[in-house]
Chain A
Amino acid sequence: MGNHHEDNCRLNHPDFRALNQGLDRRNFLQKTAMGLGAAALQVLMGGQSLQAKSIQDQILESLPKIAPKAKRVVYLFMSGGPSQFETFDYKPNLKNMFGEGLPDSVRKGQRLTGMSANQAVLPIVPSLYNFKQYGQNQTWVSELLPYTAQVADELCVIKSMYTEQINHDPAITFFQTGHQLPGRPSIGSWLSYGLGSENQNLPAFIVMVSKNASKDQPLYSRLWGNGFLPSEHQGVQFRSSKDPVLYLNNPEGYDGEDRKEMLEYLKKLNQAQNQTWADPEVEARISQYEMAFRMQTSVPEVMDVSSESDEVFDLYGPGSRDKGTFAANCLLARKLLEKDVRFVQLYHQGWDHHDALPKNIINQCKQTDQATAALIQDLKRRGMLEDTLVVWGGEFGRTVYSQGKLSANGYGRDHHPKCFSMWMAGAGVKPGSYGETDDFSYNIAKDPVHVHDFHATMLHLLGINHEELIFKSQGRRFRLTDVHGKVVKGVLT
């Protein structure tokens, strides 16, 4: 009877079971001294064992079953840390404090990065760009995001995100894996492990990185790594060049039948090896080879955009015909989601604006704004926004003060982890805005949302209790949220 469960969500994992079956009082008595006598007596009197219904079954029955709102996720990761001041967090009062030093009462002695810690003054600088309210929810959006503004009614803007990480690599790693040090599984890997793939011919976790972004901060493939989970759950990167997935094509003069035959024999060898060593990585290898073989036909099919109409390309904007841009990747993401890929992650770098922010951020917004809004519209009219979660955000926010002097070229902003904005849209998310920051967008004034809380909420929307998706590694049990995380009820419908 546990089989269904295993398909749906692998809460049936032996570790999970053992943990839950932990010896309670009655269990203890039964298994020890008194148990012997009681069991004998029961048999003597011809009674059926009272505990005929196993504790395991009882636990399975009592498990809360969260009905999943979201079946798949597309996560638009704005790498570098987009400024909340020029996007979603409108702070009109800052205009009156232009150029003044940041009051100590706001900063409260918080340690700054090495880049601005030695600055004599920390001059407050308001956004140069104007804001307006859009849609029924009167969501504030900056003039830099005119297309996003047109889908404002679909967005739930969280203004009170925070993290502990102040530098790019640990902060991105934290967002993707729930820990600042490398080595934990990425969100997509957890989902692949927990929910599996609906489409058997494509990986459950697919990653694309924009080619048109300025690569000011690097990305590493470990950000979509499987950590300690079996390796078939790692994210597969689709590239914009001739081979979307490396080493997938057959070598010249080698046809599919040969390949199939070779893989059959390889599988037998691997199975023999598996019987000897029972190493889960051997099983992972077998399933990866099988997936790769199926992907030989499924990937070219899904990457082919020739059947898309001009209307669709126009919707996603001018970049969408150029393979590998953010816009083209958004279009592909929609195609992948249509094929029921569980988790699609897009990375767009170049948001790390330490200087000349007013000029650079325009470019960033131009590259991403229309395609982002188009993705939402396109999902919506296909009936997919109903069960697809769309997420937009970076790894941290930026400071209210300018890094470096104010000049004609404008200002820069340093890293700021204590508050920043991101948004979610689609399945099970309540449009509007959530949380508030203080007048300086330096501290959170209301409803803080930690990265762990964000993870817990995302899993909740996918029908998973974040406390129950567990994997045991190196002698201890791990979760995406580890020992933290609360579902943010305020953003749910």
Chain B
Amino acid sequence: MAVALQFFQIFSKKDFNSSISLLVLIGSIFAGLSCLAGWLLASTGDYNDEIVFFHRWSGIATFFLALTSYFWIRYRNYLFTGLLILIIVTGHYGSILTYGEGYFIKPKIDSTVIISAKNRRSLKIEKVQGETTQYFYPYEDQIVPILKSKCYSCHSIQKKKGGLRLDSEFFIRKGGKHGRIMMSGNALKSHLYTYLILPEDDDLHMPPTGKRQLTRMEIQLIEQWISSGAPFGEVEQKMVLASNDLTSSAIDLPNSDLIPAEKQMDIAPLSPTDNLVLDKLKDAKISIVYSGAKNERISLNFINVKSDFNALLAQSKSIKTHVTELKLNDSDQIDFSAIRDFSNLRILNLGHTNLKDDDVENFQGLGQLEQLNLYGTKITDAGLMKLAECQYLKVLYLWDTKVSAIGINELKKKRPKLKIESGQFTFKLADTISPKRLDPNK
């Protein structure tokens, strides 16, 4: 500010010297204090020495130059030019220390790295006579992006807070100056994990308050990675394809140790166009509930919809990958072929609808469907057999339908793990209880 006033003075020929002096004095006092504080912080040794060196001496030079210009009014024009340059230089090095190198463009770099890693992973699958071997790079693909975006700014080559670096296998294994941070196979004894799950106001919680926190899923990933032995390289997963054998449970996905349940169904965050569609559905009184780490999963409930079921269903199709739950009860005008496209559907509730046997074919391709409610529909044993194709189905509601006990038994034979709720329940009538009397003499 003082510099600005000085330049202004040159052009406007007015006298601001007294106020400039005051500003310079205040400025230099603060510069002096900052130098002291900076020196103390640097002596912890958490920072890159070379950069600290530049930051330190340019900072001290700034302080002295400012002080000189307070006393030496005559040459202020030249001194101020030098001061301006020094402030810029000091500030630049300071930013590198705090935010890490390349602090202007960092976010962009991150995303490209993640994308390329993902592409490569999907390439490497080997198939040998029905046995598939899949290779994963959990550290590179899943852990590094997390560390990079949330930890490197304080724990990498630029800045080693607590003497800890997280930017390579060697340093992660070595730990910081308070000892090791990871015990392969035991997340609960690894500070790399435990510090993440401490309450946020705890002094040891990482990342510190005010920094970007890890999401729940990221924490879970780190936990699972450590628990699985913290592999830094390639992980091999063999699985036997069981396409002909429907009774065997295909639910145990490969690599389920490393990828949490949510990850198995990777859904992109909602785009602005998705949100426009959702606004329209909201206007049509469809009840919408969001879930998932980025609110990317959507449950649609048509409870308030009285007409135009199919038009709205068609509209919902444009966000079909996000819809994990669909509730369409109490309508006799649904065109079930629309449901075929909702590939990420987990829960489907069609209680009291016009569903018939043939409509069931639309659900056979739904690879994620776990829960299906068909109570009060016209489904018969024929339709029931078609449901055997839904491999992931866990729960099926069939009360008040046309299916028979024989049909249910047939399905149970094919899918022994499937829980079928047929509502065949009657109370055993209870005897009347008469009040018991107390015998005080007893």
A48 x B290 contact (CB < 8 A)? no
Q: For chain A, residues 32 to 58, give those with C-beta under 8 angstroms from any C-beta of chain B.
A: 33, 37-38, 41, 44-45, 47-48, 50, 53, 55, 58
Contacting chain A: which of B133-141, B291-299, B308-316? B291-299
The one of B88, B209, B421 in contact with A41, judged by C-beta atoms closer than 8 angstroms, is: B88
The one of A4, A33, A61, A147 in contact with B427, judged by C-beta atoms closer than 8 angstroms, is: A147
Answer whether residue A146 sits at the interface, using C-beta atoms and an 8 A cutoff: yes
The one of A4, A55, A377 in contact with B295, judged by C-beta atoms closer than 8 angstroms, is: A4
Answer whether residue B430 sits at the interface, using C-beta atoms and an 8 A cutoff: yes
Chain A residues contacting B30 (CB-CB under 8 Å) are 33
Interface size bracket, A side? 35 or more
In the bound assembly, the distance between CA atoms of A373 and B428 in angstroms comes to 12
In the bound assembly, the distance between CA atoms of A162 and B371 in angstroms comes to 37
A65 x B216 contact (CB < 8 A)? yes
Contacting chain A: which of B43-51, B154-162, B224-232, B434-442? B434-442
Q: For chain A, residues 318 to 340, give those with C-beta under 8 angstroms from any C-beta of chain B.
A: 338-340
Q: For chain A, residues 360 to 374, give those with C-beta under 8 angstroms from any C-beta of chain B.
A: 362, 370, 373-374
In the bound assembly, the distance between CA atoms of A409 and B437 in angstroms comes to 6
User: Taking CB as reference atom, which chain A residue is nearest B434?
Assistant: A362
Q: A67-B291, A383-B349 are in contact. Are A147 and B430 (CB under 8 A)?
A: yes
B287 x A340 contact (CB < 8 A)? yes
Answer whether residue B179 sits at the interface, using C-beta atoms and an 8 A cutoff: no
In the bound assembly, the distance between CA atoms of A58 and B215 in angstroms comes to 10
Chain A residues contacting B214 (CB-CB under 8 Å) are 62
A383 x B285 contact (CB < 8 A)? no
Contacting chain B: which of A22-30, A224-232, A448-456, A473-481? A22-30
B349 x A128 contact (CB < 8 A)? no
The one of A44, A128, A410 in contact with B88, judged by C-beta atoms closer than 8 angstroms, is: A44
Chain A residues contacting B291 (CB-CB under 8 Å) are 8, 65, 67-68, 463
User: Taking CB as reference atom, which chain B residue is nearest A361?
Assistant: B435
B351 x A358 contact (CB < 8 A)? no
The one of B210, B295, B373, B422 in contact with A26, judged by C-beta atoms closer than 8 angstroms, is: B210
Chain B residues contacting A285 (CB-CB under 8 Å) are none
A128 x B430 contact (CB < 8 A)? no
Answer whether residue A200 sits at the interface, using C-beta atoms and an 8 A cutoff: yes
A58 x B371 contact (CB < 8 A)? no
Using an 8 Å CB-CB cutoff, how does the interface string of B323-366 with A read, 1 for contact, 0 for none? 00000010000000000000000000101000000000000000
Chain A residues contacting B435 (CB-CB under 8 Å) are 358-359, 362, 410
Chain A residues contacting B295 (CB-CB under 8 Å) are 4-5, 8, 65
Answer whether residue A407 sits at the interface, using C-beta atoms and an 8 A cutoff: yes
Q: A406-B440, A410-B438 are in contact. Are A8 and B290 (CB under 8 A)?
A: yes
Among B92, B294, B434, the one with the most A-chain Cβ atoms within 10 Å of its Cβ is B294
Answer whether residue A343 sits at the interface, using C-beta atoms and an 8 A cutoff: no
In the bound assembly, the distance between CA atoms of A380 and B440 in angstroms comes to 45
B304 x A199 contact (CB < 8 A)? yes
The one of A26, A62, A409 in contact with B438, judged by C-beta atoms closer than 8 angstroms, is: A409
Answer whether residue A439 sits at the interface, using C-beta atoms and an 8 A cutoff: no
Chain B residues contacting A315 (CB-CB under 8 Å) are 427
Chain A residues contacting B417 (CB-CB under 8 Å) are none
Chain B residues contacting A50 (CB-CB under 8 Å) are 99, 103
A411 x B438 contact (CB < 8 A)? yes
Chain B residues contacting A53 (CB-CB under 8 Å) are 212
Q: For chain A, residues 284 to 329, give those with C-beta under 8 angstroms from any C-beta of chain B.
A: 315
Answer whether residue A111 sits at the interface, using C-beta atoms and an 8 A cutoff: no
Using an 8 Å CB-CB cutoff, how does the interface string of B87-112 with A read, 1 for contact, 0 for none? 11001100000010001100000000
B430 x A146 contact (CB < 8 A)? yes
Chain A residues contacting B371 (CB-CB under 8 Å) are 383, 386
In the bound assembly, the distance between CA atoms of A187 and B300 in angstroms comes to 25
Q: For chain A, residues 141 to 162, give those with C-beta under 8 angstroms from any C-beta of chain B.
A: 143-144, 146-147, 150
A381 x B425 contact (CB < 8 A)? yes
A198 x B287 contact (CB < 8 A)? yes
The one of B270, B301, B425, B436 in contact with A128, judged by C-beta atoms closer than 8 angstroms, is: B436
Chain A nearest CB from B120 CB (Å) reads: 27
Chain A residues contacting B329 (CB-CB under 8 Å) are 338
Answer whether residue A64 sits at the interface, using C-beta atoms and an 8 A cutoff: yes
A382 x B437 contact (CB < 8 A)? no
B438 x A407 contact (CB < 8 A)? yes
Q: For chain B, residues 265 to 288, give those with C-beta under 8 angstroms from any C-beta of chain A.
A: 270, 275, 282, 285, 287-288
Answer whether residue B397 sits at the interface, using C-beta atoms and an 8 A cutoff: yes
Answer whether residue A201 sits at the interface, using C-beta atoms and an 8 A cutoff: yes
User: Taking CB as reference atom, which chain A residue is nearest B27?
Assistant: A37
B421 x A381 contact (CB < 8 A)? yes
Chain A residues contacting B421 (CB-CB under 8 Å) are 380-381, 383
Q: A38-B91, A359-B435 are in contact. Are A199 and B303 (CB under 8 A)?
A: yes
Chain B residues contacting A338 (CB-CB under 8 Å) are 329
Q: What count of chain B residues pass the 8 Å CB interface test? A: 58
Q: For chain B, residues 1 to 50, give those with C-beta under 8 angstroms from any C-beta of chain A.
A: 30
Answer whether residue B190 sits at the interface, using C-beta atoms and an 8 A cutoff: no
B304 x A200 contact (CB < 8 A)? yes
Chain A residues contacting B392 (CB-CB under 8 Å) are none
Answer whether residue B395 sits at the interface, using C-beta atoms and an 8 A cutoff: yes
User: Taking CB as reference atom, which chain A residue is nearest B34?
Assistant: A34
Chain A residues contacting B290 (CB-CB under 8 Å) are 4-5, 7-8
In the bound assembly, the distance between CA atoms of A144 and B349 in angstroms comes to 37
The one of A47, A62, A409 in contact with B215, judged by C-beta atoms closer than 8 angstroms, is: A62
In the bound assembly, the distance between CA atoms of A61 and B428 in angstroms comes to 52
Q: A26-B210, A129-B433 are in contact. Are A65 and B292 (CB under 8 A)?
A: yes
Answer whether residue B255 sits at the interface, using C-beta atoms and an 8 A cutoff: no
Q: A408-B437, A411-B438 are in contact. Are A383 and B99 (CB under 8 A)?
A: no
User: Taking CB as reference atom, which chain B residue is nearest A128?
Assistant: B436
B212 x A201 contact (CB < 8 A)? no
B301 x A340 contact (CB < 8 A)? yes
Answer whether residue B289 sits at the interface, using C-beta atoms and an 8 A cutoff: yes
B436 x A358 contact (CB < 8 A)? yes
B430 x A45 contact (CB < 8 A)? no
Chain A residues contacting B104 (CB-CB under 8 Å) are 47-48
Chain B nearest CB from A192 CB (Å) reads: 14
In the bound assembly, the distance between CA atoms of A24 and B433 in angstroms comes to 66
User: Taking CB as reference atom, which chain B residue is nearest A463?
Assistant: B291
A377 x B425 contact (CB < 8 A)? yes
Chain B residues contacting A146 (CB-CB under 8 Å) are 428, 430-431
User: Taking CB as reference atom, which chain A residue is nearest B104?
Assistant: A47
Q: A340-B301, A383-B373 are in contact. Are A8 and B436 (CB under 8 A)?
A: no
Answer whether residue B423 sits at the interface, using C-beta atoms and an 8 A cutoff: yes
In the bound assembly, the distance between CA atoms of A16 and B294 in angstroms comes to 20
Answer whether residue B399 sits at the interface, using C-beta atoms and an 8 A cutoff: yes
Answer whether residue B186 sits at the interface, using C-beta atoms and an 8 A cutoff: no
Q: For chain A, residues 462 to 480, give those with C-beta under 8 angstroms from any C-beta of chain B.
A: 463
Answer whether residue B152 sits at the interface, using C-beta atoms and an 8 A cutoff: no
User: Taking CB as reference atom, which chain B residue is nearest A382?
Assistant: B375
The one of A3, A201, A370, A386 in contact with B304, judged by C-beta atoms closer than 8 angstroms, is: A201
Chain A residues contacting B184 (CB-CB under 8 Å) are none
B423 x A381 contact (CB < 8 A)? yes
In the bound assembly, the distance between CA atoms of A267 and B395 in angstroms comes to 47
Q: A4-B295, A199-B303, A383-B421 are in contact. Are A24 and B210 (CB under 8 A)?
A: yes
A410 x B87 contact (CB < 8 A)? no
Q: Which residues of A contact B (CB under 8 A)?
A: 3-5, 7-8, 24-27, 33, 37-38, 41, 44-45, 47-48, 50, 53, 55, 58, 61-62, 64-65, 67-68, 98-99, 125, 128-129, 143-144, 146-147, 150, 198-201, 315, 338-340, 358-359, 362, 370, 373-374, 377, 380-383, 386, 405-411, 463
A-B interface, 6 closest residue pairs, ranked by CB to CB distance from nearest = A381-B423, A146-B430, A62-B213, A24-B210, A381-B399, A383-B397
Q: Which residues of B contact A (CB under 8 A)?
A: 30, 87-88, 91-92, 99, 103-104, 209-210, 212-216, 270, 275, 282, 285, 287-295, 301, 303-304, 329, 349, 351, 371, 373, 375, 395, 397, 399-400, 421-423, 425, 427-428, 430-431, 433-440, 442
Q: A7-B289, A381-B397 are in contact. List 9 more A-B contacts (CB 8 A).
A: A37-B91, A48-B104, A146-B430, A200-B304, A381-B425, A382-B375, A383-B351, A405-B440, A407-B440
